Amino acid sequence: MVYAPTRPDPSLPPVRVNLYSDTQTKPSAGMKDAMMRAEVGDEQHGDDPTVHELCDRMAALLGKEAAVFLPSGTMCNQIAILTHCRPGDEIIAHESAHIITSEGGGPGALTGVSILGLPGPRGMFVVDTLRAGFREKRRNAPPQTLLEVEQTANFGGGAVWPIAQLDAVLQAGKAQGLATHMDGARLMNAVVAAGVPAHEMTAHCDSVWLDFTKGLGAPLGAVLCGPADFIDQAWRWKQRLGGSLRQAGVCAAACLYALDHNVDRLAEDHGNAQRLARGLAQIEGLAVETPETNLVFFDTRATGLTADAFADRVRQEGVMISTMGKYRARACTHLDVDAAGVDLALQVMRAALAG
């Protein structure tokens, strides 16, 4: 088996601290209670009141006309690309963008677009770099139709685009005639970290989505927002791809619960990420990137261990982290990890490298 996920290895000890990803959270008792009490209807028939409530709240939060509920963030990105672009078009994004590295080649396979990946530190780029990527409108050049940014930039280390840089880049894209799309998988982490309201961060994006399965703790669901006619077209793709749902209010209720209970507390995750980074920086051989939100990237090269070897070693002691490159490891804080969990993980990581 190459592509199917493997089942947990029964010979491994139980996980004590899960820093693998903020996607690993389990729905809380309060969230499950909200799911159980949800009013539901046939979502693809327009009859699910809880999904409507979620979409209305999300459109208002992100300052857009309309919204559509989808099962995952990947489907939000793919449907946005299908809706904005035509086969043969070119998207401009950062070279580490999730749509390039982590969606199975979806933009090429589904829409038939190519993506120009721009360089820049921490998953971001500046207006000059963007302008250098603009192509002349020539018969033999791909038409550039979409500019995509990630807030926060995942493989950029959970970095937050400063609002001035974000606005400048998106406005330069628009001036060039590009549509603009924000992958807001962890948008609320950026909002909480920067103290900038969500609708200000999304002001120059035509479309934007938010994931409920990252720091917000829901079991599934993401909401794509944009102009009413864009969302109307997105519904065609939702139907074609099998993303039209039935009594989806059960899931939308979890997302509404997350909006009410799990947004402000993201600050705790950011505090725990700082605590983790401070501890890691004191471990001989680990080079830590200063976290801006809940993702802590660090380099294992000086320990002589690859990131995978280091991750395997700490997993033997019940600590789970992920790896993002030969020597690049990632630890992610979230609502199922507290400060004591961070301290325990640090103790295990220190011991794993001692002796």
Ligand X SMILES: *Cc1c(COP(=O)(O)O)cnc(C)c1O
Closest distance between ligand X and the C-beta of residue 68, in Å?
15
**Minimum distance, C-beta of residue 352 to ligand X, in the bound complex (Å):** 27
- Which is closer to ligand X, CB of 209 or CB of 346? 209
Give the three-state DSSP class for 148. Answer: strand
Instruction: Confirm or reject binding of residue 73 to ligand X (CB under 6 A).
Output: yes
The pair of structure tokens assigned to 292 is 């801006």
| Token digits of residue 63 | 């300052």
Contacts of 105 (CB under 8 A, 6+ apart): none
For the residues of 62-113, what is the DSSP string, one character each? HT-SEEEEES-HHHHHHHHHHHH--TT-EEEEETT-HHHHSSTTHIIIII--
In DSSP terms, 209 is beta-bridged to: 183, 224
Peptide bond into 152 cis (omega under 30): yes
Indicate the residue among 77 and 294 with the shorter CB distance to ligand X.
77
Between residues 222 and 234, which has the closer beta carbon with respect to ligand X?
222
Angstrom distance (rounded) from CA 30 to CA 18? 21
Phi-psi map region of 265: left, alpha, beta (phi>0 left; psi -120 to 50 alpha): alpha
Two tokens at 247?
């009594």
Q: Give whichever of 315 and 330 is closer to ligand X, judged by the CB atom.
A: 330
* From candidates 24, 28, 44, 72, binder to ligand X by CB under 6 A: 72
Minimum CB separation from ligand X for residue 123, in Å? 9
Closer Cβ to ligand X, 70 or 305, answer by number = 70
- 329 lies in the binding site for ligand X (CB under 6 A): no
Kindly state the greatest CA–CA separation across the chain: 63
Hey, CA dihedral for 270, 271, 277, 283, is it positive or negative?
negative
Closest CA to 198 of 176, 220, 216, 179: 216
Instruction: Choose the stretch contacting ligand X; rule: CB under 6 A; options: 25-33, 67-75, 170-178, 276-284.
Output: 67-75
Tokens standing for residue 58: 């999300």
Q: Which of residues 147-186 bind ligand X (CB under 6 A)?
A: 150, 154, 183, 185
* Residue whose CB is less far from ligand X, 22 or 48: 22
List the interface residues with ligand X, window 254-293 (CB under 6 A): none
Q: How far is the CB of 324 from ligand X (least distance, A)?
A: 11
Residue with smaller CB distance to ligand X, 223 or 250:
223
In the region spanning residues 195 to 254, those forming contacts with ligand X, defined by CB under 6 A, are 211, 213, 222
Residue with nearest beta carbon to ligand X? 73
Task: Report, in Å, the least distance between residue 150 CB and ligand X.
Answer: 5
Judged by beta carbon, residue 77 or residue 180, the one nearer ligand X is 77
Identify residues 90-129 at the interface with ligand X (CB under 6 A): 98
Which residues, 6 or more positions from 49, have their beta carbon under 8 angstroms from its beta carbon? 39, 40, 41, 249
Q: Which stretch binds ligand X (CB under 6 A): 49-57, 70-78, 85-93, 264-272?
A: 70-78
Rounded to a whole number of angstroms, the minimum distance from the CB of residue 70 to ligand X is: 9
Give the count of residues interacting with ligand X (CB under 6 A). Answer: 12
Q: Which residues bind ligand X (CB under 6 A)?
A: 72-74, 77, 98, 150, 154, 183, 185, 211, 213, 222
